[in-house]
Amino acid sequence: MHTTLEQDLARNPHDGPAIVSSADRMSACADGFVVPGFDAVARLAAGSLQVAMVALVLNDGSAYWYSAEPGRAGTPYGLHPLYLEAARRGSAQILPDIAADARFRDTPPLTGPVPAPLRFFACEPVHTLSGRHVGALCVMDPAPRHDLDGAARATLRDAARLAGAGVVLGGYLGRTDPVTQLPHRSAFFEDLRSRQQHGAQRAWLVAIEVAPVDRFNAFVRAMGFPYADELMRAVAGRLQAWMPSDTHLYQVGVTRFAAVLPEGSPALGPVQLDQLVALLRTPFDCLGIPLTLQPGVGLLDLDVRQLQGTDPLRRVMSASHAAQHSARGWALYSRSQDERHRQEFFLVTELAAALTERTELDLHYQPRVRLEDGRCMTLEALVRWHHPTLGTVPPDQFVPLAERAGLMRTLTGWVLDHGVAQLAAWLRAGHDVGLSINVSNADFDADLVTRLQAVTTRHGVEAARLELEFTESTLLQHNDDTRRHLAAVRDLGTGIAIDDFGTGYSNLASLRQMPATCLKIDQSFVRSMDASRHDAAIVRSIAALARDLGFRVVVEGVETADIYAAVRGMACDEVQGFHVSRPLPAAAVPAWLEARHRG
């Protein structure tokens, strides 16, 4: 539907006086606001009507003054009853001399930038383009007048009309989200500040997040903006239906909404919050396409007296973000979680820099040996990150972060390139080994095959020298696409290993549908094998079953000679673990291989 700015604004239930707040202007004007172009309109009116002052007063009591005196524009002069009356009356009025008017005998004198009180006063109502009455344009001068002639009245009318257009534009640009018509972030803070001014002590901030941004962007790419806009309008509609009628909803981000609720609001009860989450989890039928969102509702109990800056919104949004990943779907703000998020954010930005412009990443290689003859067939590339101030950050910490932050393709690209280059160097030096590389969910697309081909060609290494390790949980999310990509990897001759087997909940038979070649039994069972007969039995039976199903079986986490000996008696092909070798820096690998193979 095509709408004019004006209609858009008229549909907005919170449009009220429709004003733009501008931080610098606010400081100059207590009740301050800015209407685009108002100074220019006022200057023209002041010049052609020969008056000292012009004011735009809106019918909610907010006002802006213009004076030809330098530095006086916007300076608050107090809302004299005359202005308020003018703003509300809705018709033109001319007062040739206020001082001589019986109606204003008991009111304080109207003052302005000149020392003498203002005597002449005229006003013209201000309407938006669709005729909604929003206030008045007033002109004042210290010298009384007889009247305004026809031309002067027409000038005042024109100026009021221009001011009306500015009000619409200001409201549209400054306060309203163009898609949902909800007031946005600056209005949210105005709401909070106004509570502070009215003596509120505490308030609850509620933030609602409806989609992780990365997924939302992918969604917009796939479906287009009209669908995304329609979806956000539908979300806003449901939220508004839930909200108490005296509460405003604000749009504070593309997929984020917020509200301020008074202390003790019944909407904040657990039952009501559960209802809100259930409402948002109900699939949306948007332009005929159903979509289920992953909503998160965050809550923050705010001391309004301490309100400063925009941090409260950031904090309540961190709670909504955390809530998205919780079963309940809503969560109270937690300082420790917030700290974790900040730390994560810091790590992610540092990791992005480490990947693109710094040389802090490094690969270590852990040998895997064949039980039959003790030979090392394959080395596993394990990434290391040496941060200048944080020290060595373990991959367990930053790999999942890279996954969440969309950095995985870059990270895997880096590992592939460096690992394969290193393998090529060892092959040239006469070491007959292969390399296994860990890949994650995010690498799992058609492009993986292209990347593999490119990197092996670039370094002149056969693709059959490589093996990709996928975790069990990655493979569990398999579908036909996954299977196709894996089959294409196999067609290149590259091996596929199921890493950390036993930590997920898959059964072997379902994994058998995947074209994997190798199964690595997770070290959590292996490490405690000598202490727990139960764990030893698990490893033994997984190994037997896996081999029956045609997998090559690798046991990870072999730390002691006893475990090594125990594993020898099982249906196991290769072992990996500290007992054989810790992960080694690249430079230490050739000597290790030579010593091993000589022995």
Q: Give contact residues for ligand C2E (rule: CB under 6 A).
A: 366, 381-383, 394-396, 399, 415, 438-440, 469, 499-500, 523, 557-559, 576-578, 583
**How near is the Cβ of 485 to ligand C2E at its closest, in Å?**
16
Q: How far apart are CA 235 and CA 231, in angstroms?
A: 6
Alpha helix stretches (DSSP H) within 372-446: 395-404, 408-428
Q: What is residue 255's three-state secondary structure?
A: coil
Beta carbon nearer to ligand C2E, 194 or 397: 397
Copy the structure tokens of residue 14.
Answer: 């919170």
Q: Of 409 and 431, which has the nearer Cβ to ligand C2E? A: 409
Q: Residue 378 or 576: which CB sits closer to ligand C2E?
A: 576
CB of 569 vs ligand C2E, minimal distance in Å? 19
Provide the minimum distance between the beta carbon of 366 and ligand C2E in the complex, in angstroms, as a whole number.
6
Minimum distance between the CB of residue 576 and Mg ion, rounded to whole angstroms? 8
Cβ atoms of 132 and 96 closer than 8 Å: no
CB-nearer residue toward Mg ion: 139 or 498: 498
- Tokens in use for 244? 């108490």
Tokens of 217: 């962007």
Task: Pick the piece of the chain touching Mg ion (CB under 5 A) from 171-179, 273-281, 340-348, 496-504.
Answer: 496-504
Structure tokens at 572: 């196991």
Report the residue number, 298 or 557, with the smaller CB distance to Mg ion: 557
Q: Are 321 and 209 in contact (CB under 8 A)?
A: yes
Token digits of residue 50: 């020969």
Element (H, E) at 437: strand 434-438
Sheet holding 250-253, edge to edge: 250-253, 256-262, 202-209, 296-303, 330-332
Q: How far apart are CA 118 and CA 103, in angstroms?
A: 16
User: Per rule CB under 5 A, is residue 467 in the interface with Mg ion?
Assistant: no
What is the nearest approach in angstroms of ligand C2E to the Cβ of residue 520?
Answer: 7
Residue 163: name its binding partner from Mg ion, ligand C2E, none (Cβ under 5 to 8 Å by kind): none
| CB of 593 closer than 8 Å to CB of 376 | yes
**Interface with Mg ion, residue 469, by CB under 5 A:** yes
- How near is the Cβ of 532 to ligand C2E at its closest, in Å? 16
Q: How far apart are CA 156 and CA 92, in angstroms?
A: 10
CB 287 within 8 A of CB 227: yes
Interface region with Mg ion, contact rule CB under 5 A, candidates 198-206, 462-470, 536-544, 591-599: 462-470
Residues 419-458 that bind Mg ion (CB under 5 A): 438
Judged by beta carbon, residue 277 or residue 439, the one nearer ligand C2E is: 439
Q: Write down the least CB distance from residue 416 to ligand C2E, Å.
A: 9
- 499 is an interface residue for Mg ion by CB under 5 A: yes
Reference 465, options 409, 421, 502; nearest CA is 421
* Nearer residue to Mg ion within complex by CB, 141 or 500: 500
Q: Summarize as ranges the residues that interact with Mg ion (CB under 5 A).
A: 438, 469, 499-500
